[in-house]
Structure 1
Amino acid sequence: MSLQVILGNFALILFVLMVLTGVIWCLDVFYLAKQRRAAADRALADYDARNARLSAEGVKAEHGGSRATIEAALLRQPTWIEYSGSFFPVIAAVFFLRSFLYEPFKIPSGSMVPTLVIGDLILVNKFTYGIRLPVLNKKVIDVNDPQRGDVMVFKYPRDMSQDYIKRVIGVPGDKIAYENKRLTVNGKAVGYTPLDDYLDDEQPVYHKQLQENLAGVPHRILNDEPAPTLNLHQVYDFPNKEACDYNEDGFSCVVPEGNYFMMGDNRDNSADSRYWGFVPNKNIVGKAFLVWMNLGNLKRIGGIQ
């Protein structure tokens, strides 16, 4: 595993920190604390014996405050143990939440505009598609499968250190066709309703906006009319590419078993399955369901359709 992958894998970093702080915490609770207690007991016994001897000789004994000071000093945790013990439950809680329940992400690009815009802070449900082992991302318990229309986060097949977010267009066995910027799924044309043009926040440009109804999930998409339906020179070689047929007007693909076909809602400004292929089940991270914050536009807060 390369250093770049390790540094880009926050879950792995959290796991390592949790293990290190957890080992130190356990070492202290089950061994070092007992050692400190035994050392304090010996020191206090010596202190009491010395005071008893002094009293017997008629010498005034030391004040009791010194006894408490000695005990506190010997029982005090070293700084490195104290900090480890403080951080361990926090790191463990964050690791559990991110691994099995919800993970936050920030939208870095405009490929999902208008559904998601740059700067949106989203939450992803990590268990809706099954329980997976942290770091390894191996599914151990089945729950639900991704459905057409879901907005899904996954590991980019060409670089597993990167997280991508797109919409599920095709599930295993589906035949997907995209011609003249219109989708057909299993021979049935997807419905489109024209909407008002969309003004891009990043640059003063209007885009054609449509409501797409995919398997009963209505959502908005953008089309850049002057752009070609597909840039063939940008299509990579990818696993199961033989299941796809490309031409100047578009393409058709049969989604292989255990894979999903993904597309961005900003159709002419999205690098997606049209160009780099299918997303294997093992790459799935979770389902995006909530924009919980956008510092530039609080009106963005809400559910993801």
Structure 2
Amino acid sequence: MLFSYILFVLVIVSGIAYVQDHFFAGPKRKKALEARLESNSNITAEEKKKILEKTGIVGELASMFWVLLVVFVFRAFIYEPFRIPSGSMLPTLQPGDFIAVEKWSYGIRNPLTNEVWIDTGRPERGEIAVFLYPEDESTCYIKRIVGLPGDTVIYKDKELFIKEKDSDTVKPVARHVVGKVTAEGIGFVDNYDVYEEKLGEIDHHMMVNQNSVDLTSYYYKQSGGSDGEWVVPEDCYFAMGDNRDNSKDSRFWGFVPNRDLIGRTVGIWLSFDFERSPD
């Protein structure tokens, strides 16, 4: 959000400079050119260009106005680029990937406060969303939407279960093993099972380390709930990383309020994982 504030200030400052140049400095330059032509009609095109050229800090800022305005509007209301900082969304998103986030998917929002101006839609189960981290709203997080308002989400023995709103049936999320991944670190080797999982209408890959430490004792404890079980409040969502044993997500800090949503991830526009398949 800090960059949005900086960009907004630059747009305002350059806009003031543009108005000053357009209505005051610009006409003066034109008059200067006319006076020069009256005294000497043989001036070169280069001399004309120099007389009409914007100068000084105000002139430079005025020249930047339209570019800054277009960038601000594009980032605020259409698409915004984000960089993946960690491996919490492996194997779907790699650390260092640059993703495109569709800003209007979850509402047309105030680019400075994130307040919803026009409600254009809500997250669907399985979508990858970018949102303000509820415990530090100066930070953006990216996770997959698992639970919708009114759902009961259960994560037990590394398996995900969901009881949808207005349903009496708890169902395991459909998944099957499609491969294995080995991650080597300094002095250790971790082995992961890679699953294809279906959340709503979305099929995606996620991975689990069957030998990782049980972190249930660190889970967010909802009032009146059991360990590893959460009822999603109205106007909130439950989000998880695809790297289930290396993701700080709703299991640990709770729910994502609608007011903190930024947008829906629609694709990777730059990746340095050259072995990744086009899918």
Distance in structure 1 (CA, Å) of the matches to 2:275 and 2:223: 44
Distance in structure 2 (CA, Å) of the matches to 1:167 and 1:263: 5
Residues 83-106 of structure 1, C-alpha deviations (whole Å, 9 max, x = no match): 212211111111111111111111
Distance in structure 2 (CA, Å) of the matches to 1:93 and 1:180: 49
Whether the 8 Å CA contact 2:191–2:209 is kept in 1: the answer is no
Whether the 8 Å CA contact 1:125–1:287 is kept in 2: the answer is yes
Q: Summarize the alignment of residues 36-185 of structure 1 with structure 2, pairs less than 5 Å apart.
A: 36-38=29-31, 64-65=41-42, 75-185=52-162
Cα 1:300–1:80 change in 2 (3 A) is farther
Distance in structure 1 (CA, Å) of the matches to 2:277 and 2:20: 44
Q: How many residues were matched structurally?
A: 271
Residue number in structure 2 paired with 1:60:
none
Whether the 8 Å CA contact 1:22–1:88 is kept in 2: the answer is yes
Give me the TM-score of the superposition, normalised by structure 1: 0.80
Deviation at 1:79, TM superposition (A): 2.5
Distance in structure 1 (CA, Å) of the matches to 2:81 and 2:234: 29
Residue number in structure 1 paired with 2:9:
16
Higher helix fraction (1 or 2)? 1
Match of 1:297 among 253, 273, 279: 273
Distance in structure 2 (CA, Å) of the matches to 1:192 and 1:290: 23
Residue number in structure 2 paired with 1:209:
194
Match of 2:239 among 262, 284, 305: 262
Question: SS where residue 113 of structure 2 aligns?
Answer: coil
Question: SS where residue 19 of structure 1 aligns?
Answer: helix
Whether the 8 Å CA contact 1:14–1:95 is kept in 2: the answer is yes
Whether 1:245 and 2:226 are equivalent positions in the alignment is yes
Whether 1:272 and 2:249 are equivalent positions in the alignment is yes
Deviation at 1:64, TM superposition (A): 4.3
Distance in structure 2 (CA, Å) of the matches to 1:194 and 1:76: 65
Match of 1:29 among 6, 22, 44: 22
Q: Summarize the alignment of residues 219-230 of structure 1 with structure 2, pairs less than 5 Å apart.
A: 219-230=204-215
Deviation at 1:143, TM superposition (A): 1.4
Deviation at 1:37, TM superposition (A): 4.2
Gaps of at least 5 residues in structure 2 are: 164-169
AA aligned to 2:192 is H
AA aligned to 1:242 is S
Matched-pair identity in %: 37
Deviation at 1:138, TM superposition (A): 1.1
Cα 1:192–1:67 change in 2 (3 A) is closer
Residue number in structure 1 paired with 2:173:
190
Point out the structure with max Rg over C-alpha.
1
Give me the TM-score of the superposition, normalised by structure 2: 0.87
Question: SS where residue 94 of structure 2 aligns?
Answer: coil
Deviation at 1:216, TM superposition (A): 3.0
Question: SS where residue 261 of structure 1 aligns?
Answer: strand
Gaps of at least 5 residues in structure 1 are: 1-7, 49-62
Cα 1:259–1:39 change in 2 (3 A) is same
Whether 1:199 and 2:176 are equivalent positions in the alignment is no
AA aligned to 2:150 is G
Q: 84-93 or 12-21, which moves further after superposition?
A: 84-93
Cα 1:18–1:202 change in 2 (3 A) is farther
Distance in structure 2 (CA, Å) of the matches to 1:22 and 1:299: 45
